[in-house]
Structure 1
Amino acid sequence: MKEENRGGVFKWFDFRNYSLERFLYTMHRISGIGLVIWIVIHTIQNAFPRLFPFMYGWEYTILLLILSFHAANGVRLLITELGFLLGKTYRPVYPYKMGVIYGTQKKFTVVILLIFFIIFLVMFYYLMLNMRVIT
């Protein structure tokens, strides 16, 4: 077995040689695992409210951050995997183009990240209104 294949899941957290697309894909996996963990804890907390009394404050802000990122990045991955915005293929001639994202797909990635940020801000604002932090 080659040395670079031995990292397993922990290799996900080695961001040194990641392009933007690979980093977003890894963060999508991690946010998905975080959402599953939150769903399990939330289900247990609703069944036994005295077991997890802490799930009513700032934890929802983290949930909103993870959920909005996962949703926006999921749309980006879906559109990319369906073959849209990939651009023309090119012959790999030296000097090679670095990275996978370029052209229209790079602009789309920036737009999706802006949409994620806007969705998070709106959801955070309404969360703060419901918690009576802002009036």
Structure 2
Amino acid sequence: MTILTQDMACIDGQSTCFSSLENGHLFYQFDVSHLLAETPFNFQVFAEGVDVIAVEGYMEGDDMFMGKIPLFFQETLGGIEQNKVQDHRIFRAESLFGSCSEAKMTWRVWLTVKYQKDNVINELNKSFTVTSYRNSRAIEDNQSR
């Protein structure tokens, strides 16, 4: 396990930030405020009250096909304060988007979360969209509209 301490949050333009299960929640978070082409970012699934075993996923263009970008998740430990909480698990992946001819692009994140409840392994299949920008100027142009 790796110890990482970056602040993680739902970002502007993210269609879904969490899922509720009967015994807890899954939060979908990024370590940047905006996704920029060709700039690495971290994405995490934070499981609260859910015994997550594994997370698998990939991203693909929602408004333009640019291939599938795999997400390779590893379980991590949060900061010292988060480690005091016993009912959470964090799975994190580092990724990046390729550059597109469009200033703004929508990507679909596809996830399969395997979790255990009452000694039974269950799967949650989830997808949501996020927006990426070609560069900082594209973000500024989008915000001024």
TM-score, normalisation: structure 1? 0.21
State the structure with more CA Rg: 1
TM-score, normalisation: structure 2? 0.20
| Greater share of residues in helix | 1
